[in-house]
Amino acid sequence: MSEGNLRERLDAQRRAFDAGPPDYSRRMEALAGLGDALRAREAELVQALHDDFGGRSPDETRMLELFPLLDQIGHARRHLRGWMRRRRVRGTWYLWPSRAFYQYQPLGVVGVIGAWNYQLLLTLGPLVDALTAGNHAMVKPSERAPRTAGVIASLLADVFPLDYVTCVTGGVEVARSFSALPFDHLIFTGSADVGRDVMRAAAANLTPVTLELGGKSPAILHESYPLELAVRRIMTGKLYNAGQTCVAPDYVLVPAGREAAFEAEARRVVKALYPRLAADPDYTHIVDARHDERLEALVADAEAAGARVVKLATADPGSGRVFPPTLVFGPTGGMRVMREEIFGPVLPVVACANVEAAIDFVSARPRPLALYYFDEDRRRVDHVLARTLSGGVTVGDCVFHLAQHRLPFGGVGASGMGQYRGFDGFVTFSKKRGVMVQRRIALTAFFRPPYTGRTRRILRWLMRFAAR
């Protein structure tokens, strides 16, 4: 699709929005229509994702994408009326007898650029928030999962008129043109390198941007936490979607001397989760040959630099991009596995003397999208929370803070900016508009020229109380 055609679609959406933004009833109808379409085309969506990956667990697609998406829609529908309600605030005393309130109003047309690893959730999830806030939207799914992108385009075309929601498919050039459109807000999920390009393109239009970028999310184990439980939850979170998850644990910090126990337990957990690996329908394949080769290069680089590489299972070389769960012991800062987001089933294991050393290790690196801490002592948990900064945290588990509708989801620093999901998504795609209503007779009559001695005396009197 050409840049001119994209602009025509945007202009049509803006005209439709200006003719009358979606009210409560239309928003509820839009959300219900999207939910019904997802249910009706469940099998088609599951198959498309399976085909795009060359093997993707249907149960994981339902559990990690379709169910959370449908639940997000239900949460929004249950709470929308309350979110839209005008909220009164106490007026500033020297502006008496004015009254003040704020209300959330839609921005206009929102652009959504999705990500291939969770093509449904990370494309349609932001769309749900944009529609909930009363916007029109243009959606660009990732070209790396083209079959699913095609189904999404067809689904949205069946549910919405083009001047309300439209889906744009195509390759990198289309994505570049899309990000350069003068949206009222743009949300992008993907790599930091592409995120920089998106932000540069949006800056030309002063388009506000939400970036969800990922990064190297650590898991920290305290020595008192049951190792068996911690390893089971870490490996489960790591191996969802074969590690191709933005909030997957990217490396684990274990108490020094527990490395062998961690390895033994990880091997047992992998055997229990995926007993046949390559032939196991629950184990997702790597999305394409380029990404598979990249993972091989990461592991080879670490091994060449002196790390001990442990494959926790075996995969037939002809099994079709099935990458075995792999631990990397003794990683150093110069290795690629410790410099790049892994985005696959490879887990570096770093030994630390204590939790303080683990905190220092994490804090010396770019801010991660997620942090996982395994401990049951509330004081130590609070200490870790105070000493670290990340987009989100799960204590005692991995990944699942993402599913909390009443918590915001978003990165910080190198892992992104802005947030969405639930009420926070509603706020992100809205303008919180402040309104003051003044009466005929008001104290503001003193705040206009000509400024007399009486005005100055009143101002001095006011200033005496201003900082108290």
Q: Closest Cα to residue 68, out of 112, 44, 102, 38?
A: 38
Decide if 212 is catalytic.
Answer: yes
Among residues 65, 212, 265, 341, the one annotated as catalytic is: 212
The CA-based angle 247-430-424, given to 5 degrees, is 35
Decide if 246 is catalytic.
Answer: yes
Reduced to 3 states, what is the DSSP secondary structure of residue 409? Answer: strand
Contact 255, 221 (CB under 8 A): yes
Sequence letter at residue 60: E
173's tokens: 């050039």
Q: Closest Cα to residue 131, out of 247, 221, 240, 37?
A: 37
Sign of the CA dihedral with 180 first, then 108, 426, and 5 last: negative
Q: Is 330 left (phi over 0), alpha (psi -120 to 50) or beta?
A: left
Q: Which residues does residue 395 pair with via DSSP β-bridges, in sequence order?
A: 373
Using CA atoms, how far residue 62 sits from 68, 273, 330, 445, 453, in Å, is 8, 18, 37, 63, 73
20's tokens: 């009358």
Using CA atoms, how far residue 176 sits from 1, 140, 153, 216, 362, in Å, is 11, 11, 19, 26, 34
DSSP label at residue 255:
E
β-pairing verdict for 370-374 and 392-395: parallel
Q: How many helices (H) and strands (E) does the chain have?
A: 16, 16
Sign of the CA dihedral with 451 first, then 453, 458, and 463 last: positive
Q: Exposure of 99 by Cβ count < 10 A (0-12 exposed, 13-18 middle, 19+ buried)?
A: middle
Helical (H) or strand (E) element with 35:
helix 24-40
Among residues 167, 246, 352, 398, the one annotated as catalytic is: 246
Contact 369, 391 (CB under 8 A): yes
Which amino acids are annotated catalytic? 212, 246
